[in-house]
Chain A
Amino acid sequence: MKNEQSLRRSMLIGKLLTYLFLIAGSIVMIFPFVWMILTSLKTLAESMQVPPTIFPARAVLENFTYAITSLPFVNLYINTILLIFFRVLCAVVFSSMAGYAFAKLNFRFKNLLFSLILIQMMMPSQIFTIPQYQMLAKFSLTNSIFALVFPGLVSAFGTFFLRQSYMGIPDEIGEAACLDGCNQWQTFTKVMAPLTGASVAALTVFTAVFAYADLMWPLVVNTDITMMTLSSGLATLKGQFTTNYPVLMAGSLLAMIPMLVLYLIFQKQFVEGISMTGGK
């Protein structure tokens, strides 16, 4: 009897500690975002008070005005959205086609060609950066949306990932479609592709998040401020307002709000999508 009581007590303590750790960790995770918001609402003078105030004495919006007037945010949003849109479109369409072919069709040199995909996945993207840049420069294609999308026109990882998804679909489904008179293309678009919805969603989230986070490539390829992405634009803002942190916080906030809102709505899809593609 006594034993059971002490067991129950130790379990209660364990539970308490679990919550304590999780909540403490959550505060550490959220605090930088809260601090960003609070700072963005302070005047420059207040932000430099020692000791710092937690809440702004008077919330001001001037920092957002500064950020918007010194960076063409509308362009940055549009460029980032177009970058994400085309990267996702290319990754999904081309990778679905190739993934299906590698999973379900027989052709010569299949293994050899597939090893091209695997080898690419193992190489860090920086090894391609200089020549990719030079190709664009040669044809005067820098400072364009095309330049932003360029390295992501095809996705080796997407092909690998969707191939696995197609391999999970039983062959009989495709064969049944064949008997009904579908050709390969129809079997693919009408029967097989719709069955990979979850994987395509995961690939979409993965591609979008990484396109949005990318910094080196947009910085290198689009130097014209109106052709930058939110990430590379923010890096430029840093150069302009080196120590004016309220403006920098306002700019950062503006840059991350769209993704944050999407995340709050599709939280489950984001977490599951990215963890499904895990290992990259």
Chain B
Amino acid sequence: MKQKLTQAEKREQRWAYLMIAPTILGLLILNYYPLLDTIRLSFSKTQTFGKSTFNGIENYITMFSTPEFWKATLNTIWFCVLTVPVGMAVALLVALLLNAKVRFKSGFRAIYFLPMVVAPAAVAMVWRWMFNGQYGIINTILGRQVNWLTDPSTALIACAIVAIWSAVGYDAVLLLSGLQNISRTYYEAADIDGASKIRQFFSITLPMISPTLFVTLIMRMMASLKVYDLIYMMIDTSNPVLPDVQSLMYLFYREAFVAGNKGYAAAICMWTILLIGLVTIIQFIGQKKWVNYDV
């Protein structure tokens, strides 16, 4: 390796360093220093403005002995369970329907994709209104009197419905591009062999898009575990139901920037990352059982 570089190679290397310099410097300042600092903070007691002193694992001890924290962890997992399987199933259905020979395909696609381009803050606002217990249109349609957003047993479900509605189009578009890559010849062969459409779905479609499905699933899981903005907009801090819906990232935001407990908040952040990492690792182990790469 210790070869002398030629003049041209040296010049190329100099250009390369110049061109990556902004990005690498930026990453070091904006991401790698903050990463280390968050880890440090999680072992520190933060006092007034910016000052912090090392206090060992005290933040973690406090965290693990706070019921609010465990509830937030459960809420986050529950939110994930509520949104991911149903969301993926609906997205797959939409993708399959869009993959059929239909007119206005791009029109339908654009409609389902719509929530993606609208700020979650605005989306949450109209859903709050529709879920309103007294005057909401959803209760009118259902002909029932449910206090969706103030009842601890329904508040997170309402948030999950909005999350699914927001993400379905995006996931469907990703899955659709996977479906379009499946060669027609497989289905033609299956037709000749007399395989039913349902059989074709399970024997051809599902295995063939399993890699796309897997990527979409991982992405959706990560996003659900990090959920914050939607719940923040749907459930006010003054809403008594808050402890029953608040996610880890919501708790993180409140502790860090409302209560000012940055050290404690950093510990919550570390925990969330651990959780996300764990779920992702499980996914990657589990994928061997169902994701089909040899096509």
Chain A interface (Cβ within 8 Å of chain B)? 14-15, 18-19, 21-22, 25-26, 28-30, 32-33, 35-36, 39, 47-52, 94-95, 97-98, 100-102, 105-108, 110, 113, 116-117, 120, 123-124, 126-135, 137-138, 150-151, 153-156, 159, 183-185, 188, 209, 212-213, 215-216, 219-220, 230-232, 234-235, 238-239, 242, 245, 248-249, 251-253, 255-256, 259-260, 262-263, 267-268, 270-271, 274-275, 278-280
Q: Are the C-beta atoms of B23 and A35 separated by less than 8 Å?
A: no
Q: Quick one: which of A48, A50, A270, A280 contacts B117, CB cutoff 8 A?
A: A270
Q: Are the C-beta atoms of B27 and A275 separated by less than 8 Å?
A: no
Q: Are the C-beta atoms of B23 and A95 separated by less than 8 Å?
A: yes
Classify the secondary structure of B's interface with A. Answer: helix
Q: Are the C-beta atoms of B137 and A52 separated by less than 8 Å?
A: yes
Q: Quick one: which of B49, B132, B273 contacts A127, CB cutoff 8 A?
A: B273
Number of contacts between A and B (CB, 8 Å)? Answer: 278
Cβ of A204 to closest chain B Cβ, rounded Å: 13
How distant is the Cα of A219 from the Cα of B113 in the complex, in angstroms? 26
Q: Are the C-beta atoms of B118 and A260 separated by less than 8 Å?
A: yes
Find chain B residues with CB under 8 A from A230 CB: 119, 121-122
Question: How many positions in chain B have a CB within 8 Å of any CB in the partner chain?
Answer: 92
* Listed A/B pairs (24) with beta-carbon separation below 8 Å: A21-B97, A22-B98, A29-B168, A50-B140, A124-B226, A126-B249, A127-B34, A130-B38, A131-B33, A131-B37, A131-B38, A131-B41, A132-B34, A153-B30, A155-B23, A209-B116, A235-B121, A238-B233, A248-B129, A252-B126, A263-B117, A267-B106, A275-B170, A278-B177
How distant is the Cα of A35 from the Cα of B140 in the complex, in angstroms? 13
Find chain B residues with CB under 8 A from A26 CB: 108, 111-112
Is B13 interfacial (CB-CB < 8 Å)? Answer: yes
Q: Are the C-beta atoms of A94 and B9 separated by less than 8 Å?
A: no
Q: Are the C-beta atoms of A212 and B119 separated by less than 8 Å?
A: yes
Chain B interface (Cβ within 8 Å of chain A)? 9, 11-13, 15-17, 19-20, 22-28, 30-35, 37-38, 41, 49-50, 93-94, 97-98, 100, 102, 106, 108-123, 125-127, 129-130, 132, 134-135, 137, 140, 165, 168-170, 173-174, 176-177, 197, 215-216, 219, 222, 226, 228-229, 232-233, 236, 249, 252-253, 256-257, 262, 265-266, 269-270, 272-273, 276
How distant is the Cα of A251 from the Cα of B33 in the complex, in angstroms? 38
How distant is the Cα of A120 from the Cα of B232 in the complex, in angstroms? 26
Query: Chain B residue with minimal CB distance to A36?
Result: B126
Q: Are the C-beta atoms of A154 and B23 separated by less than 8 Å?
A: yes
Most interface-central of A239, A268, A274 (chain B CB within 10 A): A274
Cβ of A105 to closest chain B Cβ, rounded Å: 4
Q: Are the C-beta atoms of A102 and B20 separated by less than 8 Å?
A: yes
